Amino acid sequence: MTSQRKQEITRSAVVTVEGEAEVNQYGDLKFYDTEGNEHKIGIKRSKLFDAIIPGRAVKLGYAVYMNKEYISTAELYDGQPADPAPKATTTGKGAGSPNKPSQPAMGKDDWAEKDRITRKSIERQTSLNAAVELAKVGIIKPDQVLPSARKFEEYLEGKEVQPAKSRLVEQAKGMDLKSVDEEDLPPF
C-alpha cells in the first residue's frame, strides 16, 4: 500500500489566460496570463489542462515540493462552464491537444528502441564513473580514464575484453617479485 503525500496549497492566484496554451516536448502545458507571466502545469497534473482556456479567468493553487513551487490546482474562476473542446497549440514531441497527443501511441518497437538508448546511456555513465574511481585511488593515470571507461563499456555490452595493464601491474613486474607459490615458505 502506498501513501500519498498531502498537497498543501501555499498560495493562490487568479489569472486570465492570454492566447493559446502550448504543450512542450515533455508534455507540460505552458501558458501566459494577461500580465505577460508564464505559467506551467506539469504533465503529472494533466487533468488540470482543461481549466486553461484563452480569455478565461482561472484560479491557480500553488504547492511546494523540494523547495520548488508548482501549480497543484487549477479551476475556472469566472463561474461559466468550460468550452466542450479547449484547444492548445503544441511544440516538440507529443503534438496535439494537451490531453491526447496526435501522434500514435508508442508501439512495442518504439519502447524497445527507447529502452536500448536509455540502457546504453546508463552503461556509458557507469563505465565512466568506474574509470574515474580507479583514477582517484591511483590505479590508473588520469589520461587512462577514457580508454578504461571504453573497456568497462565493452564489458557491459557483453564483448570479450582483454584486460588493460595498469601502472601497478607494470611496476610489480619491474620489481622482479616472486609469486606466493614461488617464495620459500618457512617450515611449520
**How many of the other CB atoms lie within 10 Å of CB of 7?**
14
153: which residues sit within 8 A by CB, 6+ positions away?
123, 124, 127
pLDDT digit string, tens, across residues 10-58: 888 888 888 888 888 888 899 988 888 888 998 888 888 888 888 888 8
Is 109 in contact with 101 (CB distance < 8 Å)?
no
- C-alpha dihedral, 117 to 122 to 124 to 125, nearest 10°: 140
pLDDT at 156 over 70: yes
> What span, in angstroms and rounded, lies between the C-alpha atoms of 8 and 49?
20
pLDDT digit string, tens, across residues 58-68: 898 888 888 88
CATH level 3 topology of 11-90: OB fold (Dihydrolipoamide Acetyltransferase, E2P) (2.40.50)
* Residue 136 pLDDT: 92
| More confident of the two residues 36 and 112 | 36
* Cell reading at 94: 507529443
pLDDT class for 6, splitting at 50, 70, 90? Answer: low
Distances (CA, A) of 187 to 109, 114, 177, 178, 182: 67, 63, 21, 18, 14
Domain ranges for the chain: 11-90, 108-174
- Percent of the chain's residues with pLDDT above 70: 66
